[in-house]
A = this chain, B = another copy of it.
């Protein structure tokens, strides 16, 4: 198979920072379904850039967006100092998401009527907030992002939501799974939740080292399964048809 993937670094302002995203375009010339891909709290790194590339190889326009102004935090305390206030502020999350969405929609290859979002951790929380803001996404897929929103706003989500989480994730315990499920169900959302048995936080991320802290570990089998589950969501909601 010959792939003629094109990638581009895109800079744009959001949240008082200059965000540095990674845009991946599929072969061909026409409009294609487009995916917003949100990274976890530490920021955008090559793991997520390569996922955007993988989506482009499947025929999607994909933007791996930035949440930290070009930074990848290796120090957990520095990461939390950025992520925790952000996660507590739906309006800031929406601004970051809208800015990325504007970049994606401005790309001529993007079919603006077929945009879906997938995200990990903080990036997933941002996509859920776009949904709660009523943005027309065709699917929202998240991993480790069982964040609940402001009362009543989940009713604005009009697309299927798929969420994945590790059973042993200390940051996303059973009580949070239940709270997220209850919010989605009360809002009448078409939702699903997959619990990956034995998986800890960041289970999907090959560069995470177990030593970072207890409860954080890469789980290769579930990482691969979760990627397949996300691709199945996209195939259902925004199939590549041309």
Contacts and interface: CB of A to CB of B under 8 A. Distances in A.
A198 B225 contact: no
A162 to B, nearest CB: 9
Contact of A174 (B178, B191, B222): B178
Interface stretch (A118-126, A132-140, A181-189): A181-189
Given A174-B178, A181-B195, A232-B232, 15 more contacts: A167-B181, A167-B193, A168-B185, A185-B198, A188-B198, A190-B197, A190-B221, A191-B198, A192-B194, A192-B196, A192-B225, A193-B197, A194-B194, A228-B232, A229-B232
B197 A191 contact: yes
B221 A197 contact: no
Q: How many copies does the complex hold?
A: 2
Interface in A150-194: 161, 167-168, 174, 178, 181, 184-185, 188-194
Contacts of A198: 185, 188, 190-191
Q: How large is the interface on A (under 10, 10 to 19, 20 to 34, 35 or more residues)?
A: 20 to 34
Contacts of A192: 194-197, 222, 225
A236 interface: yes
